[in-house]
Amino acid sequence: MPPKKKARVSKRAERSGDDGEKGKSSTAKRKAAVPAKKTETSSEFVPYSRWLMKSEPESRFENGIDVKFGIEDLKALPDQTSCWDGVRNYQARNFMRQMKEGQLALFYHSNCKEPGIAGVIKIVKEAYVDHTQFDKKDVHYDASSKPDNPKWSMVDVQYQRMMKRFIPLSELKGYHTQHLSEGGPLKQAALFTRARLSVQPLTAEEFDFILSLEDKEPQ
DNA sequence: GCCAACGTTGGC
DNA sequence: GCCAACGTTGGC
């Protein structure tokens, strides 16, 4: 399961102990878990079912370790499957814990020449303990996390397909700006409103809109 | 390489 | 429990 890899996020996160989900007390709550949207006609919560996950496709060394993990790297693995370890941000972790097997996510290339949406992946294993938090050699080792009460989780994802064409961030940003003034599906996309979140939810409208761009001319 | 935005830490 | 300092994310 554990190919070395990806998702760059803080590296210490030390205490703060919080756990995000016991929700009630303490600090670090700040903007805890954004609640899923409600439907118009009922007060039922509709859980998110689409996601966007960021990873770096270009080599970058952290403590002597290359954190490069682009969609091509995922595609090259046995079963085209990998665990998504190394997430060290509570909101991102909490979103991963909401993921269900079979759900789709957009694979986003970050911190690179051309940031943007590279392809589609599928959640093939729901959240479980991220072993790298206990590994002193790992870039994302977290000395504050104890095996009897692990802080960090990961999911497994499987490559589905490349986008028919790469959708650059710049293009999405153009639509975001446009939708802000005229209305439209990317108006509130987390990619822009929560820029630094490495694992974020997408509404069905956002997800479908982004996929629809594949068949349009680059803007 | 710069640096704005923002999450985390830790003193008080 | 506030908030300034610090460190990271990630576009440009």
**pLDDT reported for residue A44:** 73
Q: Domain spans of chain A?
A: 50-214
Residues 6+ away with beta carbon under 8 Å from A87 = A7, A9, A93, A96, A130, A152, A153, A154, A198, A199
Q: A47: which 2 tokens? A: 């859980």
Q: Is A52 exposed, middle or buried (0-12, 13-18, 19+ CB in 10 A)?
A: buried
Q: Tokens 């972790």 belong to which residue?
A: A93
Per-residue pLDDT tens for A61-83?
998 899 999 999 999 999 999 99
Q: What is the CA radius of gyration of chain A?
A: 17
Backbone angles phi, psi at A50, to 5 degrees: -130, 150
**pLDDT reported for residue A35:** 47
Nucleic strand C within 7 A of Cβ A110:
yes
Q: Which residues of chain A have pLDDT under 50?
A: 1-35, 37-40
**pLDDT reported for residue A116:** 98
Task: Using the structure, give the distance in angstroms from the CA atom of A25 to the C1' atom of B10, rounded to a whole number.
Answer: 18
Contact between A66 and A97 under an 8 Å Cβ cutoff? The reply is no
Q: What percent of chain A has pLDDT over 70?
A: 80
Task: Using the structure, give the distance in angstroms from the CA atom of A88 to the C1' atom of B11, rounded to a whole number.
Answer: 24
Cα(A107)–Cα(A211) distance, rounded to whole angstroms? 12
Task: Using the structure, give the distance in angstroms from the CA atom of A195 to the C1' atom of B5, rounded to a whole number.
Answer: 9
Superfamily of domain A50-214: ph1033 like domains (3.10.590.10)
